[in-house]
């Protein structure tokens, strides 16, 4: 009984590690070293479709998008200029964008 509990805990831990590791290693591969900033829409498509399908910014107001960007930009491996580029793109394309 104790052994089987340990086995299922180990299985769960392994599963969680695979989930996390999968996303982290993908992030590492996509790190861009050049400081050239392509347009925000391009970066958005490259960076923000790793964990879910690309969200259509027109379906969200900018405040929601900006919150998500703050939450996930580092997970997507964005540097500060990429994040700024994505923010400009989202601001222009949000439901309440201009």
Candidates 40, 46, 60, 62: give the one binding ligand HEC (CB under 6 A): 60
- Rounded distance between C-alpha atoms, residue 13 and residue 6, angstroms: 10
Q: Does the footprint of ligand HEC cover residue 91 (CB under 6 A)?
A: no
Task: Give the orientation angle of helix 62-72 with respect to helix 80-93, to 10 degrees.
Answer: 160
Q: Looking at beta carbons only, is 9 or 63 nearer to ligand HEC?
A: 63
Q: Does the footprint of ligand HEC cover residue 64 (CB under 6 A)?
A: yes
- Rounded distance between C-alpha atoms, residue 54 and residue 9, angstroms: 34
Residues 23-42 that bind ligand HEC (CB under 6 A): 23
Q: Looking at beta carbons only, is 9 or 20 nearer to ligand HEC?
A: 20
Q: Tokens 């601001």 map to which residue?
A: 91
């Amino acid at each position: 009984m104790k052994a089987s509990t340990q086995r299922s805990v180990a299985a769960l831990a392994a599963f969680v590690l695979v989930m996390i590791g999968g996303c982290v290693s993908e992030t590492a591969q996509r790190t861009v070293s050049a400081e050239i900033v392509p347009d925000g829409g391009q970066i958005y498509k490259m960076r923000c479709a790793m964990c879910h399908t690309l969200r259509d910014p027109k379906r969200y107001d900018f405040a929601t998008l900006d919150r998500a960007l703050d939450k996930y930009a580092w997970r997507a491996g964005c540097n500060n200029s990429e994040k700024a580029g994505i923010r400009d793109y989202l601001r222009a394309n949000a439901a309440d964008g201009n």
